[in-house]
Amino acid sequence: MDESFGAVEYVVHTIAQTAVDNETYFGDLDAVVGDGDFGYSMARGFEIVLADWDTIDRSDIGTFLKKIALIVTGRIGGTSGPIWGTALIRAGSAAGDKTAVSAEDAVAMLRAAIEGIKTRGQSDVGDKTLLDALVPAVDRLDAELAAGADGQTALDAAATTARDRAEATRELIAKRGRAAYTGERSIGTLDAGAVAVAVMAERVAQGWADHATQPATTPPTPEEAP
């Protein structure tokens, strides 16, 4: 079943709002063994996305996501900007010129984003990064949808998995980023990026029912786009 362009807008807007709302929380988590700028950097980038929301080109889903990637990479400092920007660009490339996405399309976009993050960050599951929550969550989402679950059930399951795996980063040694310099002292701490993924997944799942009751939106034609 296809979802309207509005479904993509909803997910991206929720991610952006969550980053802004949790600036202090994400920063405090990062400060334990990192440089503490994760929350601040994420909020500064995504607050621009929210401020420019109505003027972002919506010619198609690919264009929309790539335009947001440009904002993110230009505003988010440190390693987070390139990582999140690459994820959005790869997801946008996977979507192409579609104006609606199927469940299979959505999973393909997420997997493309994951591969972009792995390549850009030279990281993988087990390195104590956002991938430790994101990859298992997408795997769970894919499995639930393949088993015939509806969107809400699949999102709830993915959010639960993201939270569980984010909590499990306490047991890992950081191998990327500033936290990697702390070595074994990073054991017992949560990875801020993984927790951010979990919180975002939870927020997406929590608001999905309300989003689903909203009228479908139709993106403007290229001539009408701002």
Residues 6 or more apart whose CB falls under 8 angstroms from that of 198 comprise: 133, 137, 159, 162, 163, 165, 166
Distance CA 113, CA 194 (A): 15
Tens digit of each residue's pLDDT (9 = 90 or more) over 163-196: 999 999 998 877 665 555 454 556 768 899 999 9
Tens digit of each residue's pLDDT (9 = 90 or more) over 113-138: 999 999 998 899 988 999 999 999 99
Domain edges within the chain = 5-210
Distance CA 86, CA 105 (A): 18
DSSP 160: H
**What was the pLDDT predicted at 77?**
72
Tens digit of each residue's pLDDT (9 = 90 or more) over 7-62: 999 999 999 999 999 999 999 998 876 667 788 999 999 999 999 999 999 999 99
* Cβ–Cβ under 8 Å, residues 78 and 37: yes
DSSP 3: B
- CATH domain 5-210 topology: 1.25.40
According to DSSP H, which parts of the chain are helical?
Answer: 5-21, 23-31, 38-51, 61-75, 80-95, 103-121, 131-146, 151-167, 192-212
**What was the pLDDT predicted at 214?**
66
**pTM of the full predicted structure?**
0.88
* Cβ–Cβ under 8 Å, residues 137 and 159: yes
Tokens for 202? 């939870």
Q: Is the pLDDT of residue 108 over 90?
A: yes
